[in-house]
Amino acid sequence: MEDAAISLSVTLSGFELDNPLIPASGTFGYGLDYLDFFDVNEVGSFAAKGTTLHPRNGNPQPRIAECAGGMLNAVGLQNPGVHAVIRDIFPALRNVYHKKLIANVGGFSTEEYAECARLFDAEEIVGIIELNISCPNVHGGGMSFGTDPRTAASVVETVKRCVKKPVYVKCTPQCPDLVTMCRALEEAGADGLVLLNTFLGMRLDRRTGKPILANVTGGVSGAGIFPLVLQRIYEVYPKVSVPIIGCGGVSCAEDVIEMMSAGASAVEIGTQNLIDPLTIVKIRRELPERLRELGVSDIRTITGRAFR
């Protein structure tokens, strides 16, 4: 049982979470996939599967490949579309999930981002809108918005005019100047940042010498990218004033503490959920003891302690 003397609660732009653990988009579906494993209310919140205005079949198979320290995916934003999610999935989810989720929004034009975000904004179950301008596995959208600060800022400005709920932006490590990008996003009205999405990579079949993924390239995730993401968070944190959700390679309670120490206010956990569906339950139970060892009674106090 969690020690009552240790507080795990955090706040993201007025959105209260009883713990900082958030399954990352694409690794938790729409929350219903994990019901066979644990009570989904144990998560602080969760980032729902990336959703676009219209249904998408995603990329052709194969679209998953393994690598040392993680995996590559090129799923390509397969989803039923925002209208189906609101009509069919949210009613079922409300029966078992009693918190608010983070709606991850993808798009192929500024207008698509805005309309999808507007529809999610009207849903009570949505607490934060997460703009995915960083997916490396689609053409003509996703990452193409996330490498140019002016384009990214334009998306944020347009979306902010359509919604009332906090807007967080999931950034790509492929951005050549992440600090400049994050500053531009904050100036455009972003309420928070999610650092980071996957790194671009590829694998070749040793027998044929050809790419394993039908998409040729895919997003690298897993424990192997943790130090890379940590460095980016450490770099951005003192340059912005909005909250950061850390994302990339977290697999244990110690990683959560380290990422929050670098500047994250909460942490998204992705690939490790696919390896062990009980990851978040285990981390939540371990965190109080790890914090007690540090003499910390409130997890919020460790955010940015690397700079204190």
Q: In 100-148, where does DSSP find H-type helix?
A: 110-121, 143-146
Nearest alpha-carbon partner for 223 in 65, 74, 71, 73: 71
pLDDT per position as a tens digit, 102-147: 999 999 999 999 999 999 999 999 999 999 997 766 666 667 788 9
pLDDT per position as a tens digit, 66-103: 999 999 999 999 999 999 999 999 999 999 999 999 99
H/E element, 219: strand 218-221
Q: What pLDDT is recorded for position 136?
A: 66
Nearest alpha-carbon partner for 71 in 247, 263, 254, 274: 274
Residue 4 has pLDDT above 60, yes or no: no
Rounded distance between C-alpha atoms, residue 82 and residue 53, angstroms: 5
Structure tokens at 248: 């990339």
> Is 247 designated active site?
no
Rounded distance between C-alpha atoms, residue 285 and residue 2, angstroms: 6
CB atoms closer than 10 angstroms to residue 29:
16
Domains of the chain, first to last: 10-307 (3.20.20.70)
- Stated length of the chain: 308
pLDDT per position as a tens digit, 161-200: 999 999 999 999 999 999 999 999 999 999 999 999 999 9
Mean pLDDT of 15-19: 97
Nearest alpha-carbon partner for 203 in 182, 218, 189: 218
Catalytic residue among 67, 116, 135, 175: 135
Residue 2 has pLDDT above 70, yes or no: no
Q: What pLDDT is recorded for position 145?
A: 83
The set of residues, in sequence order, having a beta carbon less than 8 Å from that of 280 and lying 6+ positions away, is 21, 23, 38, 42, 43, 269, 273
Rounded distance between C-alpha atoms, residue 249 and residue 68, angstroms: 12
Residue 202 has pLDDT above 60, yes or no: yes
